[in-house]
Amino acid sequence: MERWLSAARAALAGVGVLLAASTADAQPSTFDVPAECGSEGEFRDGLTRLLGAAAERAWPTTLVIARDASGSQFQLTLEVQSEKRALLHADCRVLFRSALVIAAVTVDPTLRIPEEPSAPLAPPPAPRPQPEPAKPPPRDEPRDTGPPWRGSVAAGGGLAVGVLPGATGVVELRGGLARGRFGATLGAQYFFPKDASAEGRSATLQGVGVRAAATFAPVPLVAVSAGLSTDWLVGRGDAGISSPVQDSAWALAPSLELALTPAVTRSLALELGVAGQLNLLRPTFEVTGFREIYQMPLASLLIVGRGVFHFP
């Protein structure tokens, strides 16, 4: 009986030794990999394809893939058969494949890794296609119609030489329309009365005029205009005339003006113009039975300052 008890004790002791040895060989394993990088089953299948029956010897004690401190890359921490490796890469799938190759080569250094395994690792899930944003309906492209039309109104006054005898004052009202550098103006002028005399006989003359012109502005502060002027002069006899009467006559002349704009804003401008005209039709005033008192000269000169309002 004692022999059987001794044999049983020996058998139990042997089983205990085997269990202890098995427990010592099965070291704890850490496998921590994000789902989008790979899985434990995928890693096990990869080792089996590369090593066959020796795959269990290549199973890592530690395999961890996590983002590094910067958050821009992934870090691999790998321990296989007491050999430790650490790698960084922006793609965690690359680190997962690298861990598989390192584990396999650690067990079998002569292993040749195929470029494309017969059963490649599953790629990460494809991102969902994002719906394309709705395109706005096409708009009609605005047509380039060139510079806009602009109107102007001007008022001013100055000096006229050669319209009435000597020099006299003149006031002016003018309207205009322009587009870009080109435009047109139409103005009216009034010439203040002026006396003309000859050998004790005199007359008082005054006049109004109308001027139409085309304008061109080669630079923003300079304008040139050319047009036609017509003046209506009225004279009334005065001293030395026994029966004074009133009479009138017309003058006609082409004109040319140069205008400068020393002060300007978008809507307001101050303009100084100098105009010359060639009097083709020259009125003459005379006393019947005596002689002429005044005839308009061949050329006239006008110097006018204007305030100009542009719109819109």
Q: What is the dihedral of CA 7, 10, 14, 15, to 10 degrees?
A: 70
Tell me what percent of the residues of the chain surpass a pLDDT of 70.
79
With a cut of 70, say whether residue 130 has pLDDT above it: no
Residues 6+ apart with CB under 8 A from 208: 188, 189, 190, 191, 231, 232
Asked which of 87-91, 196-200, 212-216 is least confident by mean pLDDT, the reply is 196-200
Neighbours of 161 (CB within 10 A): 16
> What domains appear along the chain, each with residue ranges and CATH number?
27-121 (no CATH), 149-311 (2.40.160.20)
Single out the residue of 251, 172, 252, 146 nearest to residue 205, CA to CA: 251
Q: How far is CA 74 from CA 6, 31, 71, 78, 83, in A?
A: 59, 15, 8, 13, 20
* Residue 2 pLDDT level (bands cut at 50, 70, 90): very low
Provide the mean pLDDT of the chain: 82
Q: What amino acid is encoded at 217 in this protein?
A: A
Q: What is the mean pLDDT of residues 84-102?
A: 92
* Distance between CA atoms of residues 93 and 67, nearest Å: 13
Per residue in 144-201, pLDDT tens?
Answer: 577 899 999 999 999 999 999 999 999 999 999 999 899 999 999 999 999 988 877 8
Per residue in 10-37, pLDDT tens?
Answer: 333 333 333 333 333 444 578 999 989 9
* Residue 3 pLDDT level (bands cut at 50, 70, 90): very low
Per residue in 48-59, pLDDT tens?
Answer: 988 888 888 889
* Residue 119 pLDDT level (bands cut at 50, 70, 90): very low
Asked which of 56-60, 195-199, 227-231, 238-242 is least confident by mean pLDDT, the reply is 238-242
Amino acid 241: pLDDT = 63
* DSSP reduced 3-state for 51: helix
With a cut of 70, say whether residue 43 has pLDDT above it: yes
R_g (Cα) of the chain, nearest Å: 55
Tokens of residue 72, six digits = 């821009």
> Whole-structure pTM over 0.75, yes or no?
no
The CA-based angle 42-48-50, given to 5 degrees, is 105
Q: What amino acid is encoded at 113 in this protein?
A: I
* Residue 143 pLDDT level (bands cut at 50, 70, 90): low
Q: If you search the block for the tokens 């990460």, which residue do you land on?
A: 124
